[in-house]
Amino acid sequence: MDKRPSREDAEQAVRTLLGWIGEDPDRAGLRRTPTRVLKSFSDWYSGYGVDPAEILGSSFPDAEGYQGMVALTNIDFESHCEHHMAPFIGKAHVAYMPADRVVGVSKIVRVINVFAKRLQVQEKLTKQIAECINGELKPRGVAVIMEAQHECMTTRGVYKKDIKMVSSTMLGCFKDDPAIRQEFLSRISAATD
């Protein structure tokens, strides 16, 4: 984005929305709300200022030839849907099969967080994470499964709770080899029992 609106413009937009819903933005309890909203947005959407590929740039050679699956399960994440700006909250499960490089596991979590801290749809989020890991580490395969509850369905629209959306992206050996894919699914099942 070449030219972002000023902070004053953004705060005025929040004041306008408060007025639109029928509130008085000058009421004592709301006077500082525009500032608080912008501070929240700075946290919720902090992923725009970070290149997730750079996070994975400090991988290291082969960990003494380790070729087995590296899997992280039950990674909490929260994001906001690009259609309603409502939160969706859930768990990510990520695995890769190293070729000649591995990365510190916290870096995988950071990649998830960067992509999640942008306006998203879950399907795109799942694919972006898998493609970033695949592009930077060049492993034999990558798998990402995400499950989340979408507040745009629970607090508006159809008003249905306890529905989880599950999305997946399988690349390389996870796509081509049913045994490797099943091993990953079994690890997720064992971790969630």
Residues 60 and 154 placed together within one structural domain of the fold: yes
Residue among 23, 131, 149, 152 flagged as catalytic? 152
Shared domain for 23 and 77, answered yes or no, is no
Annotation says 82 is catalytic:
yes
Domain match, 60 and 109 both? yes
For residues 64 and 28, membership in a common domain is answered with: no
pTM (whole model) above 0.75: yes
- Give the model's pLDDT for residue 61: 74
Catalytic: 122?
Answer: yes
Q: Is the residue at 158 inside a domain?
A: yes
pLDDT value of position 1? 55
Are 72 and 30 in a shared domain?
no
Angle at the Cα of 185 (from 179 to 188), degrees rounded to 5? 145
Catalytic residue, chosen from 84, 131, 149, 183, is: 84
Which pLDDT score, from 0 to 100, does residue 62 have? 65
In a domain, 63, yes or no: yes
pLDDT at position 19, please?
A: 97
Number of domains in the chain: 2
Rounded to the nearest angstrom, the gap between the alpha carbon of residue 38 and the centroid of all alpha carbons in its chain is: 20
CATH of the domain at 145: 3.30.1130.10
The number of angstroms, rounded, from the C-alpha of 139 to the middle of its chain's C-alpha atoms is 21
Q: Is 83 a catalytic residue?
A: yes
Is the same domain home to 123 and 177? yes
Asked if 64 and 115 sit in the same domain, the reply is yes
Is 81 assigned a catalytic role?
Answer: yes
Query: Is residue 145 assigned to a domain?
Result: yes
Q: How many other CB atoms sit within 10 Å of the CB of residue 91?
A: 18
Give pLDDT < 50 ranges for the chain: none
Residue 172 within any structural domain of the chain: yes
**73 within domain boundaries:** yes
Name the active-site residue from 120, 128, 132, 150: 150
- Is residue 2 domain-resident? no
Pick the catalytic residue: 93, 122, 136, 151? 122
The answer to whether position 113 is within a domain reads yes
- Both 14 and 78 in one domain: the answer is no
Q: Within a domain: residue 1?
A: no
The residue segments making up the domain with residue 161 are: 52-192
Of 54, 67, 83, 123, the active-site residue reads: 83
Catalytic residue among 54, 67, 82, 123: 82
